[in-house]
Amino acid sequence: MAELQINTTQNVNISFTAASVGERILAYIIDMLIKVAYAVVVYQILFRLLAFDRLLSGMDQWSQIAVVLIFFLPFIFYTLLFESMLEGQTPGKRLLKIKVVKIDGYQASFPDYLIRWFLRIVDINMLSGIIAIISIVASEKSQRLGDMTAGTSVISLKNKVTIDHTILENLQEGYQPVYPSVIRLSDNDTRIIKETFLSAKKSRDRLVMLKLKTKIEEVIQVKAVEPDVNSFIDRVLKDYNYFTQKM
């Protein structure tokens, strides 16, 4: 599987393992089985148990098509619906532990999922998915056409990580927070802060540290009380963990 380098807006490179073609195909098959099961169940309930065909017989052709489409909307919008709700995953992707992410390091948004879903017509529905397979294999970042257009890719979540690679912090018993307004930050903000902090600390880039400190103060709307930048950012990360764990 290819290594995928994601460059965040803070110019921090994060290394992920791109999901393989096999994983993506298997996730697609699982999702398709779920969709087919849904269609079969809906058909059995409507036409076998409720004799829905009798109701349809009294309608014109276009009305019949409209009513049937309403019941099969979940089938049509399955991928878009689940990726939006599960932050880049469908049930198939979740089982295979793969996920859609933005190349710029941010969480993909609904417009990104919409673009990917719409271009499935070209990527997957045309030529039985051959276009998607070719583009994923040929692409440097393992992207199908929908990913290239949306600026996304699909990564594997199976990588072994330590606490340093997550937003989690070890908090001592009786820890007392200082900045309640850190709840203005999101998980994604905190992840980027930690990655930038660790990278700048390792390279001893004080300029980046100062810029990061200024940006954090701007977002949480509080001035640092710690004597140095390192202590302030470390405190912000710990406070965020403290307050989010309490929610």
Q: What is the 3-class SS of 157-169, one letter each residue?
A: CCCCCCHHHCCCC
Query: Token digits for 37?
Result: 């099961």
- Note down pLDDT in tens along the chain; length 247 residues: 566 666 554 444 556 788 999 999 999 999 999 999 999 988 888 777 766 767 667 777 788 788 778 888 999 999 999 999 998 999 999 999 999 988 876 678 999 999 999 999 999 998 889 999 999 999 988 999 999 999 999 988 875 444 344 545 567 677 888 999 988 888 778 888 888 888 888 888 888 889 989 999 999 998 998 888 989 998 898 888 888 765 5
Cβ–Cβ < 8 Å for 49, 55: no
Asked whether residue 118 falls in the same domain as residue 50, the answer is yes
Report how far residue 247's alpha carbon sits from residue 245's, in angstroms, rounded to the nearest whole number: 6
Tally of residues, the chain: 247
Tokens of 119: 């271009």
Please tell me whether residues 146 and 173 are part of one structural domain.
no
Q: Over the stretch 207-221, which tens digit does the pLDDT of each residue have?
A: 888 998 999 999 999
Residues 120 and 170 in one domain: no
One domain for residues 147 and 57? yes
Q: Give how many domains the chain has, as a whole number.
A: 2
Domain holding 226, by residue range, is 164-246
Same domain, 144 and 202: no
